[in-house]
Chain A
Amino acid sequence: MASIHIDNLHKVYAGGVQAVTGISLDVQDGEMIVLVGPSGCGKSTLLRMVAGLETISSGTLKIGDRVVNNLEPADRDIAMVFQNYALYPHMTVYNNLAYGLKNRKMPKAEIDRRVQEAATMLEIAPFLDRKPRNLSGGQRQRVAMGRALVREPAAFLFDEPLSNLDAKLRVQMRVEIKQLQRRLRTTSLYVTHDQLEALTLADRLVVLNGGMIEQVGTPMEVYNKPASLFVAGFIGSPAMNMISADYLREKGAVFPKSLPEGTDLIGIRPDELTLVPPTGDQLAVSGKLMLLEPAGAESHLYIHLEGSDQPVVMRVSGVPDMQDGQTVQMHAKVDALHPFSKATGRRTG
């Protein structure tokens, strides 16, 4: 068990590509941090620097009280779960789990105890004699986790571990990882590009973009108060609607309080737009319904704002009785609005 201190970390590849630019982050002991962002945002590079698989160009990395910048991965007391599992195809499940322990010259009895324990915990005990190719995707995933588990490391590093699974299995494994982490309380860094995975798994999540941190916070903080246009667009699905403040004023929307200084964009989440007027301070806009997309328990309404053709998305429960092309009146509570500055890309209040 240990905390991880990341202080002003930089990664510059040979050839000058800047992958990570001055990231600082403190991971508390026992905390699960999810690094999320689009591909190329530097999240994997950051994780691999922590693992020791990429060299650190500058900055300091501490695991526990040790500076580990120049230690081999094996000496950092971390374990990693890879995207494609990276199981050794020619070894049995048992040997896959035991390999790292054998390399550390652990006594046979202790290896056996740990392997059996992890296998029981992950329900892979019946497969210990099989080769990875004879396992299903979900079972391989468990073996990969088991390999990390038996090490009893100071920290787990997860590199998009669920992205090779089908949708149903992904949800199931997500829940299991969460439960396991809760139980073991091992410090974890988890990389994903899936915002839903990030929201559900994280104690705190870190949104990365272009090699820099956009926002750090609990899932609800990040969802309810996105710090930038980028975060607002990335977290939440369908993405937040962005409407210019001038347009809203023009259409007669009355902002009861004056907007924070510099605000020229208003973000409204699709589910914060309603067909019936809510109580309290609110604003209303209308538009033309382009497409109604029923999705089971809810429907998505694709609407072009009146007089601007700007598309907005609404999420309503059930399937409303509407025709394509008809005019739709939309309402939103004023306290549900997210004010942003187009110029800085940041939230204004």
Chain B
Amino acid sequence: MVENNRWGNFFAHLVLIIGVALVVFPVYVAVIASTHPSGTFLRGVMPLLPGPNALENYRTVIFEGRSRAGTPPIGGMLWNSFIMAMAITIGKLSISIISAFAIVYFRFPFRIFFFWVIFLTLMLPVEVRIVPTFQVVANLGMLNSFAGLSIPLIASATATFLFRQFFMTVPEELMEAARVDGAGPMKFFKDILLPLSITNIAALFVIMFIYGWNQYLWPLLITTDPEYYTIVMGIQRMVTGGDSEPLWHLVMATVTLAALPPILVILFMQRLFVKGLTETEK
């Protein structure tokens, strides 16, 4: 082993501690700000130590909202975000895994054509074809609905691609042994392939959930009814919706609540998350 010297290690720790501090800082500031009364933000510099108003601020945003700034209570928005994220995640995982199964384990006419049709979706993020996609969803009467929020986002070339990669690494003989053992395609899928994919599914779940939760532009476009607002897009309405300086203590309480679920998912499933990102996304 090429030894680390003591000064080098000290320096590395120093860089990392400063780095971690900088990375954490914005969220620290947000959490602190969410504990202060509104008066704190009228003059001077933002506080760096906790204030006394945490309970009240969080109670206000969760249950009352700020009607003047155009935001409903965020309890509902959190729920909407959760539904949307789960619908997108489960939808993406289900339709991707079965299409990857079809592409890898069957040979049929137009197989490659279908692969490319699906691959196209990887090329075209919502952001680049906003207007026509919006028109399609509007024509289908899916504005202001959970279906509209989730279904257009659940086609996933990425997940299909990743499952395909994984299936290609599953030994050929496993499927052949299952065939000799009398398992048809769906039985093989259910009894063998699905249990083997569990880690991959979980890893993708983390990434897809974050993707779904953090959707911004799409809900912004297709929800005009506050009933269907999601938390991430709701923040923007709080920041720019009012006529004066935003109510920072409430904005930051909302920011904290909006960021918490995906952060928790990452922290509790760190290993799966890292695996999902670096092993499967290559």
What residues make up the interface of A, taking CB atoms closer than 8 Å to B?
Answer: 51-53, 72-74, 78-80, 82-90, 99-100, 103-104, 147
Contact = CB atoms under 8 A, between A and B. Distances in A.
A73 B177 CA distance: 9
A89 B174 CA distance: 9
A86 to B, nearest CB: 3
Given A53-B176, A74-B180, 20 more contacts: A51-B176, A72-B179, A73-B180, A74-B179, A74-B181, A79-B180, A80-B177, A80-B180, A84-B171, A85-B173, A86-B174, A86-B177, A88-B192, A90-B195, A90-B196, A103-B182, A103-B183, A103-B187, A104-B182, A147-B181
B191 interface: yes
B140 to A, nearest CB: 41
B173 to A, nearest CB: 3
Nearest to B192: A88
B191 A100 contact: no
Contacts of B187: 103
**Secondary structure call for the B interface:** helix
Interface of B: 171, 173-174, 176-183, 187, 191-192, 195-196
Contacts of B196: 89-90
A22 to B, nearest CB: 25
B182 A74 contact: yes
26 contacts: A52-B180, A53-B179, A73-B179, A73-B180, A74-B180, A74-B183, A79-B180, A82-B173, A82-B177, A86-B173, A86-B177, A87-B177, A88-B174, A88-B191, A88-B192, A89-B196, A90-B192, A99-B178, A99-B183, A100-B180, A100-B182, A103-B181, A103-B182, A103-B183, A103-B187, A147-B177
A180 to B, nearest CB: 19
Report which residue of B174, B180, B192 has the largest number of chain A beta carbons within 10 angstroms of its beta carbon. B180
Contacts of A89: 196
A162 to B, nearest CB: 15
A86 B171 CA distance: 7
Contacts of A53: 176, 179-180
A82 B178 CA distance: 12
A83 B177 CA distance: 11
Report which residue of B174, B181, B191, B196 has the largest number of chain A beta carbons within 10 angstroms of its beta carbon. B181
Contacts of A73: 176, 179-180
A99 B183 CA distance: 9
A321 B188 CA distance: 64
Contacts of A86: 171, 173-174, 176-177
B183 A84 contact: no
Contacts of B177: 80, 82, 86-88, 147
B181 A99 contact: yes
Contacts of B180: 51-53, 73-74, 78-80, 100
Nearest to B175: A86
A215 B272 CA distance: 55
Contacts of B191: 88, 99
Contacts of B176: 51, 53, 73, 80, 82, 86
A111 to B, nearest CB: 13
A145 B187 CA distance: 23
Report which residue of A52, A53, A104 has the largest number of chain B beta carbons within 10 angstroms of its beta carbon. A53
Contacts of A90: 192, 195-196
Report which residue of B171, B173, B174, B178 has the largest number of chain A beta carbons within 10 angstroms of its beta carbon. B173
Contact of B181 (A52, A83, A84, A100): A100
Contacts of A51: 176, 180
A88 B194 CA distance: 12
A84 B202 CA distance: 27
A178 B52 CA distance: 82
Contacts of B179: 52-53, 72-74
Contacts of A85: 173
B153 to A, nearest CB: 31
B192 to A, nearest CB: 6
A146 B191 CA distance: 20
Contacts of A84: 171, 173
A90 B180 CA distance: 18
B249 to A, nearest CB: 51
A100 B196 CA distance: 18
Nearest to A103: B182
Contacts of A100: 180-182
B55 to A, nearest CB: 48
Contacts of B174: 86, 88
B25 to A, nearest CB: 44
Contacts of B183: 74, 99, 103
A101 to B, nearest CB: 9
